[in-house]
């Protein structure tokens, strides 16, 4: 693909050699003359002069002092992501049902669906057009899988789960297992029946080995555009809003509400019935106490989670403690000498 063709496809303008042929993408430091890279920040811009990339995707006001071949985009990173997908399209398996797969007679399988080896599709499940169900997947009764969704090998979806369109579930996901609900009665724990459901929206991606529990009653809900990293646990009756991103090893206790566009770092622990309001940011490793409310747009960190500014002030004060101890010791000596003279 030539530079000018790529720019037209992105809906952007270019400068330089529009006829240059491009055959791939690469990082800024290793890209060659036929490859595309991008400038994501000012630090990358400082490296641009030493890069051999044939074309750079840059922001609109980038100063092209060396007259390189560039494509100007309002969001260089996002545009580069589209270019990567263009040069490396996702391969989809050919439609069809593998002979070793087990599909219930009353399951509804739409056109263009691929079902891999040893997959199991239970009764009354509905698999939408263009879906790919990988090897060893297990799909329970009354599951709805929206069109063009992909289940990688060994995904388990329990009964009564709805998954929207264009979802991606990576290997080892378990969706719809029982929530952690028990009642202490008569000196022993009795299981509280988990009879609710899970509903997952469109364009959701769920990383490897994630667990999303069904509601005890009602619905565990995952909104459109949510992205969960590997090994995230979503407890029963949680409600995760639209376009929330969650990094690896984070756990949501039961009944947590996360509003739209929140950002949650890795290894965060969130207690029962906490609420994370829209566009809040939770730093990696922080802990949100039971029923705590993190306000919209607030950045928090630490355990218990507190506003980042407050945490940084406390850390700065802690860093000053050794010097303060020395000052205190010197003051004690001065006071002792004054007392000796006064006596």
Buried b (16+ CB within 10 A) or exposed e, 113-144: bbbbebbbbbebbbbbebbbbbbbbbbbbebb
Bridge-based pairing of strands 70-72 and 13-15 is antiparallel
Residue 28, token pair as written in the block? 């800024």
Taking residue 173's Cβ as centre, other Cβ atoms within 10 Å add up to: 24
Instruction: Give the confidence band of 42 by pLDDT, cuts at 50, 70, 90.
Output: confident
Tokens 């090897």 found at = 135
**Picking from 38-47, 71-80, 320-329, which range would have the lowest pLDDT averaged per residue?**
38-47
User: Residue range 228-248: average pLDDT?
Assistant: 98
What gap in Å lies between CA 296 and CA 98, rounded to an integer?
A: 48
What are 86-113's pLDDT values in tens digits?
999 988 889 999 999 999 999 999 999 9
Residue 319, token pair as written in the block? 């860093």
Q: Cα angle at 41 between 40 and 45, to 5 degrees?
A: 95
Of 74, 86, 65, 72, nearest in space to 22 by CA: 86
Bridge-based pairing of strands 306-307 and 299-301 is antiparallel
Q: Using CA of residue 45, residue 50, residue 51, residue 54, what is the dihedral sign?
A: positive
User: Residue range 267-286: average pLDDT?
Assistant: 97
What gap in Å lies between CA 214 and CA 236, rounded to an integer?
A: 5
> Does position 40 have pLDDT exceeding 90, yes or no?
no
What are 113-164's pLDDT values in tens digits?
999 999 999 999 999 999 999 999 999 999 999 999 999 999 999 999 999 9
Instruction: Give the confidence band of 248 by pLDDT, cuts at 50, 70, 90.
Output: very high
Look at residue 239 in the predicted model and tell me its pLDDT.
98
Instruction: Give the confidence band of 229 by pLDDT, cuts at 50, 70, 90.
Output: very high
Query: Radius of gyration of the chain from Cα atoms?
Result: 27
User: Residue range 10-37: average pLDDT?
Assistant: 94
Q: Is 243 a catalytic residue?
A: no
Instruction: Give the confidence band of 41 by pLDDT, cuts at 50, 70, 90.
Output: confident
Instruction: Give the confidence band of 250 by pLDDT, cuts at 50, 70, 90.
Output: very high
What are 179-209's pLDDT values in tens digits?
999 999 999 999 999 999 999 999 999 999 9
95 within 8 A of 109, measured Cβ to Cβ: no
Which positions ≥6 away from 112 have C-beta within 8 Å?
95, 129, 130
> Does position 49 have pLDDT exceeding 80, yes or no?
yes
User: Residue range 305-327: average pLDDT?
Assistant: 88
> Does position 46 have pLDDT exceeding 90, yes or no?
no
241 within 8 A of 227, measured Cβ to Cβ: no
User: Residue 127: beta bridge partners?
Assistant: 109, 145
* pLDDT, mean over the chain: 94
User: Residue 200: beta bridge partners?
Assistant: 163, 222
Look at residue 91 in the predicted model and tell me its pLDDT.
84
Q: Given the residues 152, 170, 233, 236, select the one marked as catalytic.
A: 236
> Does position 343 have pLDDT exceeding 80, yes or no?
no
What gap in Å lies between CA 189 and CA 154, rounded to an integer?
A: 32
Look at residue 314 in the predicted model and tell me its pLDDT.
84
Bridge-based pairing of strands 156-157 and 188-191 is unpaired
Residue 127, token pair as written in the block? 């698999």
User: Residue range 309-313: average pLDDT?
Assistant: 86
């Amino acid at each position: 693909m030539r530079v000018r063709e790529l720019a037209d496809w992105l809906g952007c303008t270019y400068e330089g050699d529009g006829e240059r042929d491009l055959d791939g993408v690469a990082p800024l430091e290793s890209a060659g003359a036929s490859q595309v890279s991008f400038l994501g920040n000012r630090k990358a811009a400082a490296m641009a002069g030493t890069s051999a990339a044939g074309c750079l995707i840059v922001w609109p006001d980038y100063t092209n002092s060396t007259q390189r071949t560039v494509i100007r985009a309002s969001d260089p990173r996002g545009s580069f992501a589209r270019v990567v997908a263009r040069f490396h399209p996702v391969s989809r398996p050919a439609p069809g049902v593998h002979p070793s797969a087990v599909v219930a007679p009353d399951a509804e399988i739409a056109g263009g669906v691929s079902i891999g080896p040893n997959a199991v599709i239970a009764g009354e499940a509905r698999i939408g057009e263009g879906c790919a169900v990988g090897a060893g997947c297990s799909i329970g009764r009354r599951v709805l899988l929206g069109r063009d969704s992909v289940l990688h090998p060994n995904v388990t979806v329990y009964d009564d789960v709805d998954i929207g369109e264009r979802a991606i579930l990576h290997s080892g996901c378990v969706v719809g297992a029982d929530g952690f609900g028990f009642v202490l009665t008569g000196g022993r724990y009795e299981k509280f029946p988990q009879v609710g459901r899970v509903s997952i929206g469109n364009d959701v991606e769920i990383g490897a080995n994630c667990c999303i529990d069904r509601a005890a009653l009602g619905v565990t809900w995952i909104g459109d555009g949510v992205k969960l990293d590997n090994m995230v646990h979503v407890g029963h009756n949680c409600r995760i809003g639209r376009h929330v991103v969650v990094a690896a090893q984070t756990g949501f206790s039961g009944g947590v509400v996360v509003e739209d566009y929140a950002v949650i770092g890795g290894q965060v622990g969130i207690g029962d019935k906490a609420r994370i309001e829209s566009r809040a940011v939770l730093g990696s490793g922080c802990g949100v106490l039971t029923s705590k409310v993190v306000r919209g747009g607030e950045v928090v960190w630490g355990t218990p989670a507190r506003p980042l500014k407050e945490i940084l002030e406390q850390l700065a004060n802690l860093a000053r403690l050794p010097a303060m101890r020395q000052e205190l010791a010197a003051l004690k000596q001065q006071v002792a000498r004054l007392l000796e003279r006064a006596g």
